[in-house]
Copies of this chain bind each other. A is one copy, B any other.
Amino acid sequence: MELNERMKTILAAVVHSYFTTAEPVSSSIIAQKYHLNLSTATIRHEMYLLEKNDYLWQPHTSSGRIPTDKGYRFYVDNLMVKNYLREKEKREIIQIYKKSKEFEEAMKTTSQLLSKLTDNIGVVLAPVIYNNIVKEIQFVAVGNNRILTVIVTDAGLVCQKIVNVSGEIDKDRLNYLSNFINSKLAEKDIDITNLNNILLDELEKIISLQERFNYVYNFLEECFNIRYSENKVYLDGRINLMKHPEFKETDKLNYILSLIEEENILAATIRGYLGFRKTKIIIGKESKLKEMQNCSLVTSEYSIKGKSAGAIGILGPTRMDYPRMISITEYISDKLSEILSEF
């Protein structure tokens, strides 16, 4: 069924009122607060139709109405008015970011900003590295039997790993090795995912010539074995959950807490939604995760030097101020992109 204009107006009013008060919305509230010049009976009739079409639902007969996931979806896709951050808010965000001189700090600041500005949970996925071109590899002997491998990518991301080796470390050989590898890297663009295969193939050739490289082979294999599955996630504002009346019910709180406990699952979920467009909104049961059924997630991708790198987002009850969540997420992802590109 196609919604007529009046139904759209009423749906938008219900979404707005329910977001504001967290109470089921009655026909008289719509009539009073939104000046539609309609009687409550007429509004009631339209709400009845909206309910029949799954845009609204009632906790019990003779109570006011609450938007369904479908109702929120229609609102987000067709009804909501874009929100713009005030200049003052933008300045404050920029001001706070000025203090972030390092990568880790920028990530933390971002999740804090997201949670403070939205009163929800702020989520930041660290940049993925696997589609990056490897620009440079350095080996640093730390102590007597450990080597710190530093991989620098074209986007300027730095990826480190400490590997234990048996036996003394010969610094000259280590130098020779890194010079050799870096010369190979300069020749062609090697994706970090292929690092292992390509470089070890190259090394095979030398090893057959120069036996003395043999001892580093195992160590290199370990160095290049970067675990892509390990997605660092920065979360902030869990306590904000307690501000929302929907999470007064223990089982709903339980769901969302177990969602944010398993950071890997949350990260994988967010990644699963990426790539289609910059900002993405997942409302309640639209997610396959049962833990997310009472929540909405607004995510926005950020980039480093123009190349998509990761995503930020906010997680809260489905009853949220979607226009504002979107504008905040988008603005912050833009700023984060700028900052990370400068590093």
Contact = CB atoms under 8 A, between A and B. Distances in A.
Interface of A: 101-103, 135-136, 138, 140-143, 146, 148, 150, 152, 156, 158, 160-162, 164, 237-239, 241-242, 248, 250, 253-254, 257-258, 261, 343
B242 A250 contact: yes
A141 B152 CA distance: 10
Most B C-beta atoms less than 10 A away, residue of A138, A140, A250, A253: A140
Contacts of A250: 242, 248
Contact of A136 (B102, B142, B161, B248): B142
Contacts of A138: 140-142, 148
Contacts of A248: 250
Given A136-B143, A142-B150, A150-B142, A164 B343 contact: yes
Contacts of A141: 138
Nearest to A250: B248
Given A239-B258, A239-B261, A257-B239, A158 B136 contact: no
A174 B317 CA distance: 53
Given A239-B257, A250-B248, A257-B242, A152 B142 contact: yes
Contact of A257 (B160, B238, B258, B343): B238
Nearest to A342: B164
Contact of A156 (B143, B148, B261): B143
Contacts of A161: 102
A101 to B, nearest CB: 8
Nearest to A247: B250
Given A140-B140, A142-B158, A238 B261 contact: yes
B238 A254 contact: no
4 closest Cβ pairs, A-B complex: A239-B261, A142-B152, A138-B140, A239-B258
Contacts of A241: 257
5 contacts: A142-B158, A146-B156, A158-B162, A164-B343, A242-B253
A320 to B, nearest CB: 20
Contact of A162 (B103, B238, B261): B103
A180 to B, nearest CB: 17
B162 A102 contact: yes
A241 B158 CA distance: 37
Contacts of A242: 250, 253-254, 257
A42 to B, nearest CB: 40
A271 to B, nearest CB: 20
Contacts of A143: 135-136, 152, 156
A333 to B, nearest CB: 23
A188 to B, nearest CB: 19
